[in-house]
Amino acid sequence: MLVFSSVLYAQMTATGYVYNDTNGNGRRDRREPGVAGVSVSNGVQVAVTNASGHYELPVGLDNIIFVIKPSGYTIPTDAHNLPKFYHIHKPQGSPTLKYGGVAPTGRLPKSVDFPLIQHVEPTDFTALIFGDPQAYTEQEIAYFAKGVVAELEGVANIAFGLSLGDLVGDRLTLHNPYIKAVAKVGIPWYNLMGNHDMDYDAPADSLADETFEASFGPANYAFNYGNAHFIVLDDILYPDPRDGKGYWGGFRKDQLDFVENNLKHVSKDKLIVLAFHIPLQHTDEDAFRNADRQRLFDLLRDFPNTLSMSAHSHLQRQNFYGREDGWRQDTPHHEYNAGTTSGDWYSGVSNALGVPASTMRDGTPKGYAFLRINGNQYTIDYKVAGEPDSLQINLFHPKVVAQGRGTQAGIFANFFMGHEGNTVEYRIGDGDWRPMHYVEAPDPAFLSQLFQWDMADELVPGRRPSNAVNSKHLWRGNIMTNLPVGEHRIEVRATDMFGRTFTQQSSYRLAEPVTIP
């Protein structure tokens, strides 16, 4: 009889209303109208509300029902600015897990309703993007709060924030301190799951997000803002289906079914912004399952305005996918692989705030990004934590060079948001502008930081940074030595993929050559 009851219990229909919560009390009052044409999902299927705001969806024993926020409405947030757009339905709770997961939710309510509040929503807006806060300890949460969040508290004119996974570093009890830290920014904040946010003792990939769900809600969801449609996905397959060990980048079929069902109700003129943790990768299937990326690309073939955002690598890169990679359009698909708020995992010497500098292995300083959307077009700005907005290029070169003698030393420009094909130029003093040459090599400025550790006579406080890797946004120019003895200004200008030009200045000194006696 118990088995029979469970089967009946599993074959239920969630029903309810999406309504305009005109008095903001979070309850559907008798005179509050329903909102028609709003998508609601159980994580796979998507229903659209009728003229009364009513919907129906099938549910089983493990579903999160959520509303896909339409443009022109806000959704409630909790005391920590987390959007409350979902209802967890797990009558039996999560399986036994180290970090608990979701407690039993009991029976499905008679009506699962979702409040919206109507307001004027601009099509020109900005979102704040964090990559990998990834704190392993309470101390690292404090570094994150002091080194990044503190300078953003009370930030104005930002619609919402989004963290691109690895919110913490395996200790899922740190999700709550992370939530409290980010809440101080003071804006609605969305989150997605990274490989360090998973339940590693989960018996199946579909259950690896149980503790994440308890803290943040669904790991796969969508929402609209202005003329942009955001799709947030968990792209970690765990355990790795190839050998049952570790993890692999990719999507389950039910996740891509959700994307497909969702996009049926999205206008083709929207900007589609996809957010996930592991980059899509197109050179090595050891990192990402090719078939999953291909199905995703197939689903996007009729949407001309798209962007993907990822993190995970603790580097900063602009990835482009063309027809040779399975993209179905002539204009390549852009994936912004964002730099991280933890930088190189909270390594390096401490800055003036007492926070590890954490410069990333490609020479990108730790920081965060502003996604600026105008209609269905976008630009992205990277902000180095603790530095002025104008710092977009870091220069490295000798401080002094022998006048009149050739040198194999160079002027290196690390253009943090750059990529191969950008125009980067330099000039000495008021001389002619000359092209700098793109190189894929370790950033010498970052190597110089490593030498501080490797050549020190005494232990340096903190943790040595990771070894350098080739930067994907590094340019080189020659040093001119046929100029008069004295100080000479270096000026570099770089134009990004959005047509904007940034500059940086430095100087070097030419001195009389010193001969060996």
**Each residue of 166-175: pLDDT tens digit?**
999 999 999 9
- Mean pLDDT calculated for residue range 312-320: 97
Of 384, 406, 433, which one is at a domain's C-terminal end?
384
Looking at the fold, whether 379 and 408 belong to one and the same domain comes out as no
Q: Give pLDDT tens digits for 448-463.
A: 999 999 999 999 999 9
233 beta partners? none
Looking at the fold, whether 277 and 148 belong to one and the same domain comes out as yes
Looking at the fold, whether 251 and 362 belong to one and the same domain comes out as yes
C-beta of residue 190 within 8 angstroms of C-beta of residue 225: no
> Which tokens sit at 417?
């948001």
- Mean pLDDT calculated for residue range 90-94: 96
Determine, yes or no, domain membership for 109.
Answer: no
Can you tell me which residue has the tokens 């060990």?
245
CB neighbours of 37 closer than 8 A, spacing ≥ 6? 48, 49, 70
Q: Give pLDDT tens digits for 321-378.
A: 999 999 999 999 999 999 999 999 999 999 989 999 999 999 999 999 999 999 999 9
Looking at the fold, whether 53 and 199 belong to one and the same domain comes out as no
Furthest-apart CA atoms within the chain: distance in Å: 100
- pLDDT the model gives residue 285: 79
Looking at the fold, whether 339 and 469 belong to one and the same domain comes out as no
Query: What DSSP assignment string belongs to 321-350?
Result: E-GGGT--SSSPEEEEE---SSTTTS-SSB
C-beta of residue 341 within 8 angstroms of C-beta of residue 129: no
Query: Helix, strand or coil for residue 9?
Result: helix
Q: Does pLDDT of 7 surpass 50?
A: no
Number of domains the chain is built from: 3
Q: Does pLDDT of 11 surpass 80?
A: no
The CA distance from 411 to 415, in Å, is 13
Q: Is the dihedral of CA 350, 352, 358, 359 positive or negative?
A: negative
Looking at the fold, whether 242 and 198 belong to one and the same domain comes out as yes
Looking at the fold, whether 232 and 209 belong to one and the same domain comes out as yes
The CA distance from 502 to 330, in Å, is 29
Looking at the fold, whether 405 and 477 belong to one and the same domain comes out as yes
CATH number of the CATH domain containing 168: 3.60.21.10
- Mean pLDDT calculated for residue range 205-233: 98
Determine, yes or no, domain membership for 111.
Answer: no
CB neighbours of 107 closer than 8 A, spacing ≥ 6? 91
Can you tell me which residue has the tokens 């355990």?
239
Distances (CA, A) of 224 to 69, 267, 323, 375: 6, 11, 28, 12
Determine, yes or no, domain membership for 478.
Answer: yes
pTM score of the predicted model: 0.96
The CA distance from 117 to 131, in Å, is 30
Determine, yes or no, domain membership for 176.
Answer: yes
Looking at the fold, whether 417 and 339 belong to one and the same domain comes out as no
The CA distance from 421 to 424, in Å, is 9
- Mean pLDDT calculated for residue range 179-188: 98
Query: 382: number of CA atoms within 13 Å, CB side?
Result: 25
Average pLDDT, the chain: 95
- Mean pLDDT calculated for residue range 30-34: 94
- pLDDT the model gives residue 282: 66
> Which tokens sit at 361?
């292995």
Looking at the fold, whether 50 and 171 belong to one and the same domain comes out as no
Determine, yes or no, domain membership for 269.
Answer: yes
User: How does DSSP classify residue 481?
Assistant: -
Query: Helix, strand or coil for residue 296?
Result: helix
- Mean pLDDT calculated for residue range 403-421: 96
Q: Does pLDDT of 4 surpass 90?
A: no
CB neighbours of 304 closer than 8 A, spacing ≥ 6? 268, 329, 331
Determine, yes or no, domain membership for 359.
Answer: yes
Looking at the fold, whether 406 and 310 belong to one and the same domain comes out as no
Looking at the fold, whether 367 and 421 belong to one and the same domain comes out as no
Determine, yes or no, domain membership for 169.
Answer: yes
Of 384, 415, 447, which one is at a domain's C-terminal end?
384
Determine, yes or no, domain membership for 304.
Answer: yes
Query: Helix, strand or coil for residue 299?
Result: helix
Residue-number span of the structural domain to which 430 is assigned: 393-511
CATH number of the CATH domain containing 466: 2.60.40
Of 63, 81, 102, which one is at a domain's C-terminal end?
63
- pLDDT the model gives residue 515: 85
> Which tokens sit at 148?
């990044």
